[in-house]
Amino acid sequence: VLALHGKIKEVGDKILASNGKEVDFASALRSCEEAGGTLATPTNEEENKAILAIVKQYNRYAYLGIKESEASGQFKSINGMPLNYTKWHQHEPNGKGAENCVEMYTDGSWNDKKCNLYRLTICEF
């Protein structure tokens, strides 16, 4: 269960929340799903900024609900939808199949990263 303590943001029809925990990608996704949501996946600049506000609040990089598809270098939302919005950091993504998850930096840009690192959990509902 997510303990919220004012760590909720509303953006469009989404509610974003973090439990403040840093875990690997699979654990972060499981936490969000157990709470009835999924990992936060920005679909526009407004949503990216709302997620960034939580990232800045904790000053921690966070996993996004985006994974590399079977085609190396191609990324899609974890629900299988194509990404119509991206905010890759300069020269990213560059993992070429070795970095299958995506993290958000504290400036709001994205980086492909290994899935076994500990990053902030931010869920969307």
How far apart (Å, rounded) are the C-alpha atoms in residues 87 and 54? 17
72 Cα distance to chain centroid: 19
Token reading at 112: 């492909």
Per-residue pLDDT, 2 = 53
How far apart (Å, rounded) are the C-alpha atoms in residues 67 and 110? 12
Taking the chain (125 residues) in consecutive chunks of 10 residues, what is each chunk's mean pLDDT? 64 93 97 96 97 96 95 88 95 91 98 97 97
Q: What is the β-pairing status of strands 110-113 and 8-11?
A: unpaired
pTM: 0.91
Do 110 and 89 meet the contact criterion of CB atoms below 8 Å apart? yes
Query: What domains can be seen in the chain, in order of their start residue?
Result: 15-124 (3.10.100.10)
